């Protein structure tokens, strides 16, 4: 059996594509999810990938979840911090709850998961962490001050942790996907998608989740040990940082 990989939010959308790609490449994969049991069970049944429910914004829940995964599969060697939510509104209409929810799920989660998993990676002298940020971290997006702040925070976190653990055989990278065909983007009104978003994408279409997964596979490979602290854009040319 290959190395053990955990994908947060790994039962739908981009995370599900990453989990599948890792499994197909021979990794022993666990997929976490937040609350949609129906989607998670269907995913587990179809792929054979075990699924684990916990809230990544809750540190104690993460500790219990990591312990369960490690009891079942062994020490986690690859961590994909993918779980994320949006709560869009212009700032003058954004409630403190909308702000806190996005910071908690999209950014606190990265601290929670890395804080719990990094000591074992350091001891074993190997690890791969990929943090799923967003093009909107780099270019900003009206209606997403909360999301852009959380996703930009992930990039600073990535660069800092990468420096701390580089000598321990652990790489930490961020990817910044552009608009990808998942439930998150299906929630955007069709008019906004067709008239405002698609015209900004030179490739002329949304990404498929599998195209994001391909980049993750590349970054987690044993042979990718010299790539760390990087921010890899996968955005169809929408923004060239």
Ligand X SMILES: NC(=O)c1ccc[n+]([C@@H]2O[C@H](COP(=O)([O-])OP(=O)(O)OC[C@H]3O[C@@H](n4cnc5c(N)ncnc54)[C@H](OP(=O)(O)O)[C@@H]3O)[C@@H](O)[C@H]2O)c1
59 catalytically annotated? no
Report in angstroms how near the CB of residue 67 gets to ligand X at its nearest. 16
Site string for ligand X, 152-181 (x = CB under 6 A): -------------------------x-xx-
- How many Å apart are CA 29 and CA 39, to the nearest integer? 17
Nearer to ligand X, 39 or 217 (CB): 39
Q: Is 31 left (phi over 0), alpha (psi -120 to 50) or beta?
A: beta
Q: Are 76 and 32 contacting, i.e. CB atoms less than 8 angstroms apart?
A: no
CA nearest neighbour of 65 among 51, 78, 52, 84 = 52
Report in angstroms how near the CB of residue 4 gets to ligand X at its nearest. 19
Q: Which of 52, 147, 179, 239 is catalytic?
A: 147
Report in angstroms how near the CB of residue 55 gets to ligand X at its nearest. 4
Q: Residue length, the chain?
A: 241
Residues in 124-143 at the binding interface with ligand X, rule: CB under 6 A: 132, 134
For residue 214, give the 3-state DSSP assignment.
helix
Cβ within 8 Å of residue 144, ≥6 positions away:
86, 88, 136
- Chain residues binding ligand X by CB under 6 A are 8-9, 11-15, 32-36, 39, 55-57, 82-85, 105, 132, 134, 177, 179-180, 182-185
Active site residues: 147
């Amino acid at each position: 059996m290959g190395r053990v990989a955990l994908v947060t939010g790994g039962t739908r959308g981009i995370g599900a594509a990453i989990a599948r790609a890792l499994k197909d490449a021979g990794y022993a994969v666990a997929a976490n999810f937040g609350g949609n049991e129906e989607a998670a069970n269907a995913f587990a049944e179809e792929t054979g990938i075990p699924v684990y429910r916990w809230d990544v914004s809750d540190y104690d829940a993460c500790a219990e979840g990591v312990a369960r995964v490690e009891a079942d599969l062994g020490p986690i060697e690859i961590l994909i911090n993918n779980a994320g939510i949006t709560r869009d509104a212009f700032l003058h209409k954004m409630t403190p709850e909308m702000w806190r929810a996005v910071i908690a799920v999209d950014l606190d989660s990265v601290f929670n998961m890395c804080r719990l998993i990094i000591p074992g990676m350091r001891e074993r002298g190997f690890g791969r962490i990929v943090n799923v940020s967003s093009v909107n971290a780099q270019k900003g997006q009206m209606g997403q001050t909360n999301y852009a702040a959380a996703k930009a925070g992930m990039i600073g976190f990535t660069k800092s942790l990468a420096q701390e653990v580089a000598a321990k055989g652990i790489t930490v990278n961020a990817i910044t996907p552009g608009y990808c065909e998942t439930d998150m983007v299906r929630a955007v009104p069709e008019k906004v998608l067709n008239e405002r978003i698609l015209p900004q994408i030179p490739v002329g279409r949304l990404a498929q989740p599998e195209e994001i997964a391909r980049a993750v596979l590349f970054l987690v490979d044993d042979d990718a040990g010299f790539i760390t602290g990087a921010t890899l854009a996968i955005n169809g040319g929408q923004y060239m940082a």
